[in-house]
Structure 1
């Protein structure tokens, strides 16, 4: 890829309705993850670690929190041209707002005129994974592809919520691309598995521009990259697949190699956090050879106090962020974001607790997500009785995870 100018485009304008209520006041890419981070940080880190340092984040839905995060956490070096910048919907090509991910890029085609890249990498903002995009780019160039789609095998029964590739006999040419098919086609040699799109694409700029113009002129289109643009390019013979299992990331261990999760639902978001809590985590946030590179806010270290009787200040198999104080509570298999307070004789088990939430004395939080600044009053329980949670207006996911919205007070 020597000498190639690469522009990164991150699609971060979708409302993320399946993540409600976590997306009630923020864009999906701004949803906190892993204690210290936002979902968008993982995609941005992959791009920056690989040397792609001209990145535009296309925003629209409730973007204030995301824009603020990008401004404070993603200032790159002073090298001329390096940048991570939010690009809001600006109605350059008409009075309407972005009608889909393809339309978001179409309305921002001036970015390609400005940067004049040799290649364009397009990524979603709601995936947790490590990947070196340069290896994918090298394969894209070697094959002379119009678009290359990063793909990962998945059991067919789980593939119905994703874009599915149907590869030709050569294993990499894409004959068809099916968006969320009811019956995903099996892949060659593994009929019980489907080849699923990761939402990471490498485009030849001319191919991308032509495809977007065709899509914009199609009144029947949903104006989605995965739903409309990629299927069209597959039919035209311009699409190729990249096998994510070939990707070698520095510092990756056998246990977390090729980890990828699309966090589009409450259950997938919660389960990905539980992956972090394992003794050998499925996704290793401690890989210093391929770090999550955003600038962290200044907070004091976490603090644990008391060890007597039934109020030990203790956390087991958990991820505890800076600024957390555990004062006599017991925490198991949980992720706590900065500023969280856990008071005496409380119990937290399999929970995700976001910034500045407080769990008071004798309270119980179990199989639950507490959004920012939630207060669980003394003796209250969250996640223990799902019917009671629903009666109180809390969201309960299909997998039985209770979600308490930002700033709510939970009474006994």
Structure 2
């Protein structure tokens, strides 16, 4: 059943608890696991499930997202027919609860009407998982469902499979029905639709707070979680960047950490994630932390339970110690000096 599903990714979600990391990017573009963005996971799942047409519906701060995805080449979506599409929200209308705003879809109905795919898969952009949607489609057809809601441990994953024609009807009749998104339809016992649940048993983590983001990053240090998310037969694709290999000096010590390419490490790193081109100075100790791209940590520093956004500079002798349930977050481009801590 190749190319029978249309991919629809809602990239409009925003959570106040993630504000420090979303000042310059959308949630979909939030970096994770050393070299990936959150949207890479659902987008790769779709591509691995033979979905060749994907529409992304962003709203806030989506320049970084568009820069990351580009033409879709890294996901094999730079095609003459179908491929990758961006449909930004036309205005800053009030936020609506639920994934996949029918009002947002309504501004781009030509895309849905011109699509040749019989089914549409609607998904959020902030769930870490590796799922094959083909078995979902097969079950959906076999038992005659109108809507299939994907779940994990009984909770909704905010992923829905529906006929494209049914989705068009729901959008066009939203004012009469009062439905604003797919969750409204699923929750209405009197909707008249046959709603089915599909239980996904693999690794799942929803990133809707700093605590969840930190927890997911720490879990990925565990090889068993990593293997559940990064499968050889269902790879997670991302934007390819050319960087030299990471350089470790003779004094460097790295244990149980994710280290991207282009880094320069002179100190000690444990249970942490280093994104591309991070520099760690001499006699510096970093543990249980997330250090994003191009951040620079000076000499004789101590960082524990810390999240540094991109381009942060930590000067010599700085000590930052947070808690596992309340990590310290330093915003993008900030400078943290020893005198500031005294």
Shared fold per TM-score greater than 0.5:
yes
Alignment of 1:135-154 (within 5 A): 135-153=135-153
Q: 1:203 aligns with which of 137, 146, 162?
A: 162
1:279 shift after superposition = 4.3
1:16 shift after superposition = 3.0
1:306 shift after superposition = 2.3
Q: Secondary structure at the match of 1:331?
A: strand
Aligned position for 1:121:
121
TM-score by length of 1: 0.76
Alignment of 1:7-406 (within 5 A): 7-71=6-70, 74=73, 76=76, 79-90=79-90, 96=93, 99=96, 101-102=100-101, 103-153=103-153, 195-217=154-176, 223-226=180-183, 228-232=184-188, 235-245=191-201, 258-284=202-228, 286-307=230-251, 313-327=252-266, 329-384=267-322, 399-406=325-332
Q: Secondary structure at the match of 2:236?
A: coil
Supply the distance in 2 between the matched residues of 1:73 and 1:323 (Cα, whole angstroms): 24
The answer (yes or no) to whether the contact 1:89–1:97 under 8 Å persists in 2 is: no
1:293 shift after superposition = 2.0
- Root-mean-square deviation (CA), in Å? 2.3
Output one character per residue of 1:197-235: Cα deviation in whole Å (capped at 9) or x when no partner.
11111011232222233434467x6x3433x23323774
1:335 shift after superposition = 0.6
The answer (yes or no) to whether the contact 2:72–2:84 under 8 Å persists in 1 is: no
Alpha carbons of structure 1 residues 224 and 382: separation in structure 2 relative to 1, 3 Å: farther
**Number of residue pairs aligned between Structure 1 and Structure 2:** 334
Q: Which runs of 5+ in 1 are unaligned?
A: 154-194, 246-257, 308-312, 387-396
Supply the distance in 2 between the matched residues of 1:285 and 1:356 (Cα, whole angstroms): 26
Alpha carbons of structure 1 residues 14 and 216: separation in structure 2 relative to 1, 3 Å: farther
Supply the distance in 2 between the matched residues of 1:117 and 1:279 (Cα, whole angstroms): 37
Q: Which runs of 5+ in 2 are unaligned?
A: none
Supply the distance in 2 between the matched residues of 1:128 and 1:319 (Cα, whole angstroms): 17
Q: Secondary structure at the match of 2:70?
A: helix
The answer (yes or no) to whether the contact 2:71–2:78 under 8 Å persists in 1 is: no
Supply the distance in 1 between the matched residues of 2:247 and 2:72 (Cα, whole angstroms): 25
1:13 shift after superposition = 1.5
Q: Secondary structure at the match of 1:88?
A: coil
1:304 shift after superposition = 0.6
TM-score by length of 2: 0.90
Alpha carbons of structure 1 residues 234 and 408: separation in structure 2 relative to 1, 3 Å: farther
